[in-house]
Amino acid sequence: MTTGQARNKGRSPEQLDEAFRQEVADVFCQTLLLARFHDIDLMDAVNDKCLAWAEPGIDS
């Protein structure tokens, strides 16, 4: 909806932005809970997956 690829269902741009922020927060919280349940260190996982190319010390 925020990119115009779906009907806005009468919502203002501000309401769409807020709904999008809430959805992103939901996904983030569910990811944290999933990682906690499976005893995954997210910082290590992110460093291994996404920051492996970074220079040493760049993640601090």
Query: Which pLDDT does position 20 carry in this prediction?
Result: 92
pLDDT interval class at 48 (50, 70, 90): confident
Residue tagged 């010390």 (tokens): 57
Measured CA to CA, the distance from residue 54 to residue 26 in angstroms comes to 28
Q: Structure pTM?
A: 0.67
- Nearest-angstrom CA–CA distance, 60 and 5: 38
- % residues pLDDT > 70 (the chain): 88
Question: Residue 13 corresponds to which amino acid?
Answer: P
Stretch 14-28: mean pLDDT? 94
